[in-house]
Amino acid sequence: MTTRIEHDTMGEIAVPSQRHWGAQTQRSLENFKIGGERQPKEIITAFAYLKEACARANEACGKLTAAQADAVAQSCAEIREGRWDEEFPLVVWQTGSGTQTNMNVNEVIAHLAADRGVQLHPNDHVNASQSSNDTFPSVLHIAAALAVEQAVLPAAERLADAFAKLEAAWPNLIRIGRTHLQDATPLRFAQEVSGWRELVAAPCRMLRLAQNELCRLAIGGTAVGTGLNAPKGYDAMVCQRLREMTGLPFVPDENKFHALTSKDALVFSHGALKALAANLMKIANDIRWEASGPRCGMGELHIPENEPGSSIMPGKVNPTQCEAVTMAAVQVLGNDTAIGVAASQGNFQLNVFLPVAAYNFLQSARLLGDVCDSFRVHCVEGIVPDEERMQRNLHNSLMLVTCLTPKIGYESAAQCAKKALHDGTTLKEAVLALGLLTGEEFDETVKPEKMV
């Protein structure tokens, strides 16, 4: 491998000749050989949005020429397109402010500009009016807001729509309810599915609410929140440009001392991701329980058979999509703990747990977006209820006795249920044996369709 010599304030260092990064990136590569988890691509994309917006604001303020700003903007556009992904090799486990990733982006932009004949200094030009202390927190919010808007919400809303179609397809099918894993009173299958639909829709509303807070940015705060070296009005110009580029309502955080030290908006938004994960866990568990069997389980739902379920038991098919959902949910719940702890660790004028917070948030968003689509396509859209099994379980349930309570009282109704269970008879036979109602009165009273 051939190298070239780059320098920074620490001195000279050899850098691979074919790479567009500089000395600070190389030092980070050599000093943080930890884990291997690279900075998420979403963070680099967000940096490419922010650096272009900053360049245009600096141009308007007279700190960059039009040619310099154009060179930054062109490089950033190419980075967003993914043309230079291999130029961003740094791992998550680096300085907690993300300084080295900020400089990685600055160095790559400067070298790409040099390839076009425009000389830019990574600090003096690309990083003008900025500090890692306000860029990385801003990028974290930009990346999170884009991930929610582009990955999570569309996929979750498609899943909610799939449940709405399942709900509409079976408006009159009645099934037995279950509470505490025991038989309960009846409900319509569509009513149960409507609950699943809302379990997806409600966290989407929470995520949209949280977007307002994520769209408040630290940019303009520079090193400690005072805005040192940033022109007046610079933060508003940056956010205006970001709104134009992304379509999201980014605004400057009015209190930069808050913006640099607190990750409360990230905690708030990830709380909604956690709510979605928790609800998906519940839905997936419901579906796999109700599809259990095929002969020795509940067997009230048929789900798609996508692949063999066992390497030893021929013909076995498992609820694999449900299992994928539950595993993704577990990961998101764990990520929420990491983000909460990271957010609690701000000291004085800065939080230095930003890369790990970014990594976990973006993994959660990626997982939830992917799993909502996979679950929808490979499971939910293929669900078919077993009407015969549902009807058999419905009429075999002792909890139909609940509708007798107004006629014979709670204690007599309980006596009927216990007798039927003990004797192995139907509820009707128990009621008649106890002489509490006539057969005609029982048939008139115990009608599941009147109980839903």
As annotated, the active-site residues are 180, 310
- Give the E-state strand segments of 231-383 in sequence order: 251-252, 301-302, 346-347, 350-351
CA atoms lying within 13 Å on the CB side of residue 327: 9
Alpha helical stretches, state H, 116-233: 132-147, 153-169, 189-214
Give CA–CA dist 99/105, Å, rounded. 10
Q: Which residue has the tokens 């780059």?
A: 6
The DSSP line for 85-149 is GGG---BSSS-TT-HHHHHHHHHHHHHHHHHTT----IIIIITTT--HHHHHHHHHHHHHHHHII
Handedness of CA 224, 226, 229, 234 (dihedral sign): positive
At 26 the three-state DSSP class reads helix
> Which pair of tokens denotes residue 162?
């799939």
Q: Which residue has the tokens 């099918």?
A: 173
C-beta separation of 75 from 21 below 8 A: no
What burial class does residue 89 get, using C-beta atoms within 10 Å of its C-beta: 0-12 exposed, 13-18 middle, 19+ buried?
middle
Give CA–CA dist 252/217, Å, rounded. 5
Q: Which residue has the tokens 């660790």?
A: 345
Q: How far apart are the first and last CA of the chain?
A: 74
> Which pair of tokens denotes residue 170?
């079976």
Return the axis-axis angle of helices 234-246 and 132-147, rounded to nearest 10°. Answer: 30
Which candidate, 156, 216, 154, 152, places its Cα nearest to that of 362?
A: 152
Return the axis-axis angle of helices 189-214 and 264-290, rounded to nearest 10°. Answer: 160
> Which pair of tokens denotes residue 345?
């660790």
At 320 the three-state DSSP class reads helix
